[in-house]
Structure 1
């Protein structure tokens, strides 16, 4: 595996420790931060919040964007706006970051896990359809899980590592079964499926700007939607549901302190100015990785699915088996190249081990074999 370490070191032109994914601040970040500080508007009100919301909506093609403190809060509010309530069920994939299931749990709802597709790493339409056909029925325009008697209110597919899932097929299935589709697009800013940006297929979607994302403000997230009423409600309840008034403190519903500060928005406006360059750089890196791993036995570089254009947020390889995966992880990390395995399946975690699952053959296969490799934009 020495040749792998040497290739990564040569690619990043350093013999020092190479992290998995680190942010790049090479544009107007300091300038806009200073402007924000000088204005004294550093909290949730300020021109950069408004500017960021307009620019992220324009970039994705959504009509509205609502800036939030992080991607998890964006997903939480999206699920609330989808009317996910206590004891409802939400279908999602077990191969995801914990934030997906945490957001479902914040609504006092319960996840149901269906399998993923091997080529997209995202929720499988065939697994979803099979589960619904075998376990569910429509009663009074609601999807009822015959096993539990609970309402399946929503479905949350995730675009894993920025690779789009078959979101159009999932959407059609959800509409047939009266299930609200909410996209977890946390990792897929700059990714497209059939020419359309991820997150714009669903009624609501959440995007993350965490410190390891393709653009970042150290945190941050947003909700995107084409529904004006939902957009207004999202902005209202993420700002403590305060009724506008020059001095009175009146709140008309339970709200959340989820509004993105102007300081963070200033960073994101600067980062957005560089997003196209970041995306181009990542695609170039993906091409180099793909060519290199073509000549390496028993390791396959994971490419974007058909009919997709991925942002290649995190590059990943597929090893022969779990033993090879563990050997790869140990060797690379011991030699200064940070790699990490894909997430532990959600249904294996203590909090979700009692949740209903379909056959998870593909998820288990990927859990045993997928490793993320250094994916930072190169300077």
Structure 2
């Protein structure tokens, strides 16, 4: 069956050359807008395309306000900072995630607590989150949530919409509301994905999106913060643009802000890519359907979008019988020039996060030993 998968992928992409996991797609439109930016000389943080990119993202996602930044990690960092996450605070996230999720917490000198993912969604399990809080947390008279064992504040929750598949975000919202916790969605991989008709990243206080070169659309490097509140969006825009007060010539900054501004050059590329986003998602969903048909009677279980989710299928994935079968699949396909990869190492298995508090990670461990991502680029 491994060879059948390779043959299908080569036929689909119509090449005998190396096939990457996910690569960007450009044509004359990207070249046109990028050249316009170069000719204008406004290639850095000032230029019309940054505003246009933010406005188009707001229209597409139906967020209240969108802030374009340099990458997805800075989007998470700024969102958590604006939620008040600080030194020695606890932020609950999932152990099965890309390292940027945990790094953003660590860079704020806060600490991660890791909970399990759901077998249905690959993302944070609401039951695991609730069980962790019931066992380890207490609400005090100041209406803040604290870790029983140490007295540290539990300040925020960061679920990730893994590979573009939405978590059961409405249930996580309920848990966060009960425990008075800020909710920041790591929607880095899920632009174009919806849960019960609402775009991912718009359920929490903030959502963080990535436009890295391997995402559904790219700005080269780049990210965005989806804001639920207009005022929060205004404050975050100010904060991420060095907190400089507008003035014709004076440089006055009223806060210790961040230089997280997306350059106009990147935003121009993003504007061209956004014009194709709906087509890209349709194309990727069609590829997922072909994978599902191919694998229907195979020993591999194809990862389908969860109930109530309309997924962008950023990265298609299969579940192998066990870790040995997974390793054989990875070895065989990569030797044949077809890039496949396992899911990330669990955060709790990395040296900088192995001491973090956690609960049962049974599902996370199960996926880590069995999951393989397949080539998922858009086919023009």
TM-score category (smaller protein)? over 0.9
Matched ranges for 1:1-379 at <5 A:
1-139=2-140, 140-297=142-299, 299-379=300-380
Indicate the SS of the match to 1:352: coil
Indicate the SS of the match to 1:50: helix
Indicate the SS of the match to 2:133: helix
Q: State the 4+ residue runs in structure 1 displaced beyond 4 angstroms.
A: none
Cα displacement string for residues 205-238 of structure 1 (whole angstroms, at most 9, x for unaligned residues): 1000000000001111000112122111111111
In 2, the alpha carbon distance for the partners of 1:57 and 1:237 equals 19
In 1, the alpha carbon distance for the partners of 2:107 and 2:306 equals 32
Maintained 8 Å contact 2:348/2:356: yes
In 2, the alpha carbon distance for the partners of 1:187 and 1:97 equals 10
In 2, the alpha carbon distance for the partners of 1:148 and 1:351 equals 20
Aligned length: 378
Cα displacement string for residues 111-155 of structure 1 (whole angstroms, at most 9, x for unaligned residues): 000100011000000001111111111012011110221110000
In 1, the alpha carbon distance for the partners of 2:5 and 2:212 equals 28
Give the deviation of 1:23 after TM superposition. Answer: 0.1
State the superposition RMSD in angstroms.
0.7
Maintained 8 Å contact 2:33/2:272: yes
In 1, the alpha carbon distance for the partners of 2:349 and 2:245 equals 43
Give the deviation of 1:26 after TM superposition. Answer: 2.4
Q: Which runs of 5+ in 2 are unaligned?
A: none
In 1, the alpha carbon distance for the partners of 2:348 and 2:262 equals 32
Maintained 8 Å contact 2:216/2:314: yes
Q: Which runs of 5+ in 1 are unaligned?
A: none
In 1, the alpha carbon distance for the partners of 2:171 and 2:27 equals 39
| TM-score in terms of structure 1 length | 0.99
In 1, the alpha carbon distance for the partners of 2:276 and 2:257 equals 34
Give the deviation of 1:295 after TM superposition. Answer: 2.0
In 2, the alpha carbon distance for the partners of 1:349 and 1:119 equals 25
